[in-house]
Amino acid sequence: MRDRSARWWLLTFLLVTAGVAGCSSGSQPGPRAIDGGFPPTAQLPALPFRIADQTGLIRALAVVDAGVLEEGASQVLGRDDALYLHWVGGACDRRVLVMFQHTANGHGFTVSTERDFGGCRLVGIPRTLVIEFTRPIDASTVSFSITQ
């Protein structure tokens, strides 16, 4: 009986310790990487992406279907701490890396896409993220570029 009780306390201690050690706020300071994916469609597999946040300002993000947006960063209506990031990808996309960093005039996003050119169907596929920041970010001070 005592052996069983000791195991229970040890297990409880380990679970609580692991839970506390794994806890962190979404506003962790400093550079970090956030992994996610655009969902699969009937014709295409899921598209994994990584956001490399060099600023430590990204709190959360979500993949959304925002309708028609201009390519680049735009303000989420009624939110000074959230931006839409929108670009058009293709059926050959295999993985996306989005860099977010400080620039001379504010902040900048750079989108790099790894593509598979074998059997590519040239179809424009809209990609949109909502990115929430730890502080207000004005979309007019955010640059956007796509590298191949």
CA quadruple 70, 76, 80, 82: dihedral positive or negative? negative
Residue 135's φ and ψ, nearest 5 degrees, are -150, 165
pLDDT at 10: 39
Work out the burial of residue 87: count CB atoms within 10 Å of its CB; fewer than 13 is exposed, 13-18 middle, 19 or more buried: buried
pLDDT for 96: 96
Q: Tell me, what's the pLDDT at 15?
A: 37
Q: Which residues of the chain have pLDDT under 50?
A: 1-27
32 beta partners? 53
Sorted by where each begins, the domain ranges of the chain are: 28-147
